[in-house]
Amino acid sequence: MFSDPQFWVAVSFILFIAAIFNPVRKILTSSLDAQINDIKNKIDEVENLKNEAQKALDELKEREAKVEKEIQNLQSESEKRIAAFKDTSASKLTEQIEKRKILAENKIEQLIRDTNNSIKNYISSVAIEATKNILLQNLSNEKKSALIEESITEFNSVLKN
């Protein structure tokens, strides 16, 4: 057996494998460990990115909820202001209509008074002119003197009272 060359080839092959196995195992193990560490690091990095993305998503949802709430508040506030503006406008319009109505009525009343005064003045002046003409045509000097005397006495009696 010790003289057989195949035996020594087998022994040398086993010794060769045993001698190479440890360094190759260390190289393979360290390479695999490095790849495992890389994969773990990448997984951790992906987990961190996932967590950051989840935080960002939560923040965006929170902001969206705040914006929605603010939009609803602004909308309700604007509706309240519009309603108040409508009420104010309606009351101001009603007031203006009433004021203009009163002004128009006052103008109409003033025109009626002015027209009545004009008519009275015209009638008075026409009546005075007509009376004057009639008196001038129908009265003699004696009747004029008697009428003047009578007017003076009536005037004095009115002044005494």
Residue 30's Cβ-count burial label (10 Å; 0-12, 13-18, 19+) is exposed
DSSP letter for 139, please: -
Residue 140 corresponds to which tokens in the numbers above? 């003699």
pLDDT of residue 123: 92
Cα→Cα distances 9→1, 19, 148, Å:
12, 15, 183
> Residue 20 to residues 11, 13, 33, 34, 35: CA-CA distances in angstroms?
14, 10, 19, 21, 22
3-state secondary structure of 1: coil
Give the pTM: 0.42
pLDDT at 161: 64
Res 46: pLDDT: 96
| Domain extent for 94 | 5-160
Residue 62's H or E segment, with its range, is: helix 5-138
How is residue 50 written in tokens?
């996932």
How big is the chain by its Cα radius of gyration, in Å?
A: 63
pLDDT at 133: 85
Distance, CA of 157 to chain centre:
80
Tens of pLDDT, residue by residue, the chain (161 residues):
678 889 889 989 898 888 888 888 888 888 888 999 999 999 999 999 999 999 999 999 999 999 999 999 999 999 999 999 999 999 999 999 999 999 999 999 999 999 999 999 999 999 989 888 887 787 777 887 888 888 888 888 877 76
Predicted confidence at residue 50, as pLDDT, reads: 96
Query: How many domains, in total, are found in the chain?
Result: 1
* Calpha distance 57→35 (Å, rounded): 32
